[in-house]
Amino acid sequence: MAKEQALYPSWSGRGPRTKAGIGLFVVAAVAVGMGIAGLDLRTSVTGEAVDAVNSPARPPVQLLPGTDLSDSTTSVRRWGLPGGVVSAPAPPPPTAPEPSSGQKPGTVRLPGGGTATLVRKEVGPDATLPVPEGVREATWWGAGLGAPIGATLLAGHVNFRGAVGPFNELWKAEQGQDVTVSDSDSKVFRYRISEIITLHKNELPDSAERLFSQQGPHRLVLVTCGGRWVGGDLGYNENRIVVATPQV
Protein backbone atom coordinates (compact mmCIF):
# COMPACT_ATOMS: atom_id res chain seq x y z
CA MET A 1 0.00 0.00 0.00
CA ALA A 2 1.29 3.44 -0.89
CA LYS A 3 2.21 5.67 2.01
CA GLU A 4 -0.24 8.51 2.37
CA GLN A 5 1.13 12.03 2.21
CA ALA A 6 -0.66 15.24 3.14
CA LEU A 7 -1.29 17.67 0.30
CA TYR A 8 -3.65 20.44 1.32
CA PRO A 9 -4.12 23.17 2.47
CA SER A 10 -0.46 23.75 1.50
CA TRP A 11 1.50 22.30 -1.41
CA SER A 12 5.28 22.33 -1.66
CA GLY A 13 5.60 21.07 -5.24
CA ARG A 14 7.93 18.28 -4.17
CA GLY A 15 7.84 14.60 -3.39
CA PRO A 16 5.65 11.90 -4.97
CA ARG A 17 3.18 14.48 -6.23
CA THR A 18 5.55 15.20 -9.11
CA LYS A 19 5.46 11.60 -10.35
CA ALA A 20 3.00 9.90 -12.68
CA GLY A 21 -0.54 10.38 -11.52
CA ILE A 22 -0.24 14.06 -10.64
CA GLY A 23 -3.54 15.85 -10.95
CA LEU A 24 -5.53 12.61 -10.97
CA PHE A 25 -9.11 13.18 -9.98
CA VAL A 26 -12.30 11.17 -10.30
CA VAL A 27 -15.84 12.36 -10.84
CA ALA A 28 -17.61 9.08 -10.15
CA ALA A 29 -21.11 10.12 -11.10
CA VAL A 30 -22.68 6.69 -11.31
CA ALA A 31 -26.33 6.28 -12.40
CA VAL A 32 -27.04 9.97 -12.21
CA GLY A 33 -30.58 9.44 -13.45
CA MET A 34 -32.54 12.22 -15.18
CA GLY A 35 -30.54 12.96 -18.27
CA ILE A 36 -27.39 10.94 -17.61
CA ALA A 37 -28.70 7.69 -16.18
CA GLY A 38 -26.28 4.81 -16.22
CA LEU A 39 -23.22 6.93 -16.95
CA ASP A 40 -20.05 6.46 -14.98
CA LEU A 41 -18.75 10.02 -15.23
CA ARG A 42 -15.26 9.17 -14.07
CA THR A 43 -12.52 11.55 -15.07
CA SER A 44 -8.98 10.44 -14.41
CA VAL A 45 -5.53 11.63 -15.36
CA THR A 46 -2.78 9.10 -15.76
CA GLY A 47 -0.01 11.65 -15.59
CA GLU A 48 1.26 10.86 -19.05
CA ALA A 49 2.98 13.73 -20.78
CA VAL A 50 1.10 15.34 -23.65
CA ASP A 51 2.82 14.71 -26.97
CA ALA A 52 4.45 17.76 -28.45
CA VAL A 53 3.02 19.06 -31.70
CA ASN A 54 5.71 18.69 -34.31
CA SER A 55 5.76 21.13 -37.20
CA PRO A 56 6.42 19.61 -40.65
CA ALA A 57 10.04 19.79 -41.70
CA ARG A 58 10.86 22.67 -44.01
CA PRO A 59 12.34 21.87 -47.44
CA PRO A 60 16.02 22.70 -47.81
CA VAL A 61 16.74 26.21 -49.03
CA GLN A 62 17.83 26.23 -52.66
CA LEU A 63 19.22 29.05 -54.75
CA LEU A 64 18.35 29.50 -58.40
CA PRO A 65 21.18 29.13 -60.90
CA GLY A 66 23.28 32.22 -61.30
CA THR A 67 22.90 33.46 -57.75
CA ASP A 68 26.27 34.30 -56.26
CA LEU A 69 26.14 34.97 -52.56
CA SER A 70 29.74 36.14 -52.57
CA ASP A 71 28.63 39.28 -54.41
CA SER A 72 26.90 41.58 -51.95
CA THR A 73 25.13 43.36 -54.82
CA THR A 74 23.42 40.20 -56.01
CA SER A 75 19.75 39.93 -55.10
CA VAL A 76 18.79 36.61 -53.58
CA ARG A 77 15.99 35.10 -55.61
CA ARG A 78 13.11 33.65 -53.64
CA TRP A 79 10.75 30.97 -54.87
CA GLY A 80 7.86 32.46 -56.83
CA LEU A 81 9.40 35.93 -56.97
CA PRO A 82 10.99 36.65 -60.37
CA GLY A 83 13.85 39.08 -60.78
CA GLY A 84 15.27 38.59 -57.33
CA VAL A 85 12.63 40.78 -55.67
CA VAL A 86 12.60 40.32 -51.93
CA SER A 87 9.12 40.63 -50.49
CA ALA A 88 8.49 42.59 -47.33
CA PRO A 89 7.46 40.50 -44.33
CA ALA A 90 3.72 40.12 -43.93
CA PRO A 91 2.24 42.38 -41.26
CA PRO A 92 1.21 40.60 -38.06
CA PRO A 93 -2.48 39.73 -37.79
CA PRO A 94 -4.53 42.28 -35.89
CA THR A 95 -4.82 41.55 -32.22
CA ALA A 96 -8.37 41.05 -31.02
CA PRO A 97 -9.35 43.70 -28.50
CA GLU A 98 -9.52 42.54 -24.91
CA PRO A 99 -13.14 42.13 -23.76
CA SER A 100 -14.43 44.94 -21.58
CA SER A 101 -14.62 42.48 -18.68
CA GLY A 102 -10.89 41.81 -19.01
CA GLN A 103 -11.63 38.09 -19.35
CA LYS A 104 -10.69 36.21 -22.50
CA PRO A 105 -13.45 34.43 -24.45
CA GLY A 106 -14.04 30.78 -23.64
CA THR A 107 -12.60 30.85 -20.13
CA VAL A 108 -13.62 30.41 -16.52
CA ARG A 109 -12.28 32.81 -13.91
CA LEU A 110 -12.09 31.53 -10.36
CA PRO A 111 -12.41 33.68 -7.20
CA GLY A 112 -8.64 34.08 -6.80
CA GLY A 113 -8.24 35.36 -10.37
CA GLY A 114 -6.95 32.15 -11.96
CA THR A 115 -8.38 31.31 -15.37
CA ALA A 116 -8.69 28.13 -17.43
CA THR A 117 -9.71 27.62 -21.05
CA LEU A 118 -12.96 25.72 -21.54
CA VAL A 119 -12.77 22.55 -23.62
CA ARG A 120 -16.15 21.02 -24.43
CA LYS A 121 -16.15 17.24 -23.96
CA GLU A 122 -18.71 14.47 -24.18
CA VAL A 123 -18.78 11.11 -22.48
CA GLY A 124 -16.86 8.51 -24.49
CA PRO A 125 -17.88 4.98 -25.52
CA ASP A 126 -16.36 3.64 -22.31
CA ALA A 127 -18.67 5.91 -20.28
CA THR A 128 -15.82 8.09 -19.07
CA LEU A 129 -15.48 11.83 -19.37
CA PRO A 130 -12.21 12.96 -21.02
CA VAL A 131 -10.08 15.21 -18.85
CA PRO A 132 -8.08 18.31 -19.73
CA GLU A 133 -4.65 17.96 -21.30
CA GLY A 134 -3.07 20.48 -18.97
CA VAL A 135 -3.61 22.60 -15.89
CA ARG A 136 -4.76 25.60 -17.94
CA GLU A 137 -7.76 23.78 -19.40
CA ALA A 138 -11.10 22.79 -17.91
CA THR A 139 -13.32 20.05 -19.30
CA TRP A 140 -16.86 21.31 -19.81
CA TRP A 141 -19.73 18.81 -19.77
CA GLY A 142 -23.47 19.10 -19.34
CA ALA A 143 -25.75 22.11 -19.55
CA GLY A 144 -24.85 25.18 -21.55
CA LEU A 145 -24.09 28.53 -19.98
CA GLY A 146 -27.27 30.31 -19.03
CA ALA A 147 -29.38 27.17 -19.43
CA PRO A 148 -32.64 27.20 -17.45
CA ILE A 149 -32.02 23.78 -15.88
CA GLY A 150 -29.23 21.29 -15.30
CA ALA A 151 -25.63 21.31 -14.09
CA THR A 152 -22.75 22.81 -16.05
CA LEU A 153 -19.77 20.72 -14.96
CA LEU A 154 -16.26 22.16 -15.22
CA ALA A 155 -13.51 19.77 -14.16
CA GLY A 156 -9.87 20.81 -13.88
CA HIS A 157 -6.54 19.49 -12.65
CA VAL A 158 -5.33 20.58 -9.25
CA ASN A 159 -1.78 20.11 -10.53
CA PHE A 160 -0.02 18.32 -13.36
CA ARG A 161 3.65 17.59 -14.08
CA GLY A 162 4.77 19.77 -11.20
CA ALA A 163 2.65 22.79 -12.12
CA VAL A 164 -0.19 23.98 -9.90
CA GLY A 165 -3.41 24.65 -11.80
CA PRO A 166 -5.98 27.41 -11.27
CA PHE A 167 -8.47 24.83 -9.97
CA ASN A 168 -6.21 24.58 -6.92
CA GLU A 169 -8.09 27.72 -5.85
CA LEU A 170 -11.16 25.61 -5.11
CA TRP A 171 -9.47 24.52 -1.90
CA LYS A 172 -9.50 28.12 -0.68
CA ALA A 173 -12.88 29.13 -2.10
CA GLU A 174 -15.57 30.55 0.18
CA GLN A 175 -19.31 30.88 -0.07
CA GLY A 176 -20.41 34.19 -1.54
CA GLN A 177 -17.43 34.52 -3.88
CA ASP A 178 -18.03 34.96 -7.60
CA VAL A 179 -17.01 32.78 -10.53
CA THR A 180 -17.35 34.15 -14.05
CA VAL A 181 -17.51 32.21 -17.30
CA SER A 182 -17.00 33.90 -20.67
CA ASP A 183 -18.38 32.18 -23.76
CA SER A 184 -16.80 32.24 -27.21
CA ASP A 185 -18.57 35.55 -27.97
CA SER A 186 -17.21 37.17 -24.78
CA LYS A 187 -20.61 37.12 -23.11
CA VAL A 188 -19.93 36.80 -19.39
CA PHE A 189 -22.04 34.63 -17.09
CA ARG A 190 -21.66 35.33 -13.39
CA TYR A 191 -22.17 32.70 -10.70
CA ARG A 192 -21.96 32.96 -6.92
CA ILE A 193 -20.63 30.13 -4.77
CA SER A 194 -23.44 28.66 -2.70
CA GLU A 195 -22.02 25.32 -1.56
CA ILE A 196 -18.57 23.81 -0.99
CA ILE A 197 -18.18 20.07 -0.54
CA THR A 198 -15.19 17.82 0.13
CA LEU A 199 -15.86 14.13 -0.45
CA HIS A 200 -13.78 11.00 -0.44
CA LYS A 201 -13.90 9.64 -3.97
CA ASN A 202 -15.69 6.54 -2.74
CA GLU A 203 -18.48 8.74 -1.35
CA LEU A 204 -19.09 10.77 -4.49
CA PRO A 205 -21.48 8.34 -6.25
CA ASP A 206 -24.03 8.86 -3.47
CA SER A 207 -24.13 12.59 -4.25
CA ALA A 208 -23.80 12.31 -8.02
CA GLU A 209 -27.46 12.68 -8.92
CA ARG A 210 -27.92 15.81 -6.83
CA LEU A 211 -24.72 17.44 -8.08
CA PHE A 212 -24.51 16.49 -11.75
CA SER A 213 -28.10 15.83 -12.85
CA GLN A 214 -29.35 17.66 -15.92
CA GLN A 215 -32.59 18.36 -14.09
CA GLY A 216 -33.35 20.88 -11.38
CA PRO A 217 -32.27 24.52 -11.19
CA HIS A 218 -29.31 25.54 -13.32
CA ARG A 219 -26.00 25.64 -11.46
CA LEU A 220 -22.27 25.64 -12.12
CA VAL A 221 -20.37 22.71 -10.60
CA LEU A 222 -16.57 22.97 -10.38
CA VAL A 223 -14.60 19.83 -9.56
CA THR A 224 -10.96 19.05 -8.82
CA CYS A 225 -9.02 16.62 -6.65
CA GLY A 226 -6.87 16.80 -3.56
CA GLY A 227 -6.67 15.50 -0.05
CA ARG A 228 -4.02 12.83 0.35
CA TRP A 229 -1.97 11.17 -2.35
CA VAL A 230 -2.64 7.43 -2.10
CA GLY A 231 -1.56 6.39 -5.59
CA GLY A 232 -3.13 3.58 -7.55
CA ASP A 233 -6.40 4.25 -9.35
CA LEU A 234 -7.38 7.00 -6.94
CA GLY A 235 -4.28 9.17 -6.95
CA TYR A 236 -5.58 11.78 -4.53
CA ASN A 237 -8.29 10.43 -2.29
CA GLU A 238 -10.71 13.36 -2.29
CA ASN A 239 -12.71 15.55 -4.63
CA ARG A 240 -13.35 19.21 -4.00
CA ILE A 241 -16.72 20.30 -5.38
CA VAL A 242 -17.85 23.91 -5.56
CA VAL A 243 -21.44 24.66 -6.55
CA ALA A 244 -22.36 28.16 -7.74
CA THR A 245 -25.73 29.62 -8.68
CA PRO A 246 -26.33 32.06 -11.55
CA GLN A 247 -26.55 35.78 -10.83
CA VAL A 248 -28.83 37.92 -12.96
Distances (CA, A) of 35 to 32, 110, 212, 218, 244: 8, 27, 10, 14, 20
pTM of the complete model: 0.64
Options 17, 157, 201, 218, the catalytic residue: 157
In-domain check, residue 92: no
CATH code of residue 172 = 2.40.260.10
**How confident is the model over 20-65, as pLDDT tens digits?**
222 233 343 332 322 333 334 443 333 333 333 333 443 443 434 4
Cβ neighbourhood burial of 10 (10 Å; 0-12, 13-18, 19+): exposed
> How many CB atoms are closer than 10 A to CB 182?
22
**DSSP H or E stretch at residue 224:** strand 219-231
In-domain check, residue 189: yes
Domain count, the chain: 1
Options 225, 234, 243, 244, the catalytic residue: 225
Domain span at residue 179 reads 5-47+98-246
In-domain check, residue 89: no
Secondary structure of residue 156 in the 3-state scheme: strand
Beta bridge partners of 6: 228
Q: DSSP for 170-183? A: GGT--TT-EEEEE-
In-domain check, residue 36: yes
In the annotation, is 160 catalytic?
Answer: no
In-domain check, residue 124: yes
Q: How far apart are CA 81 and CA 171, in angstroms?
A: 59
In-domain check, residue 39: yes
In-domain check, residue 107: yes
**How confident is the model over 165-180, as pLDDT tens digits?**
999 999 999 999 999 9
Q: How far apart are CA 122 and CA 197, in angstroms?
A: 24
Give the pLDDT score at 180: 98
Q: How confident is the model at residue 88 (pLDDT cuts 50, 70, 90)?
A: low
In the annotation, is 200 catalytic?
Answer: no
Q: DSSP for 200-214? A: ETTTHHHHHHHHH-S
Residue 212 phi, psi (nearest 5): -110, 0
| Range with lowest mean pLDDT among 44-58, 152-166, 179-193, 229-243 | 44-58
In-domain check, residue 73: no
What's the length of the chain?
A: 248
Share of the chain above pLDDT 90, in %: 43
Longest CA span, the chain:
79
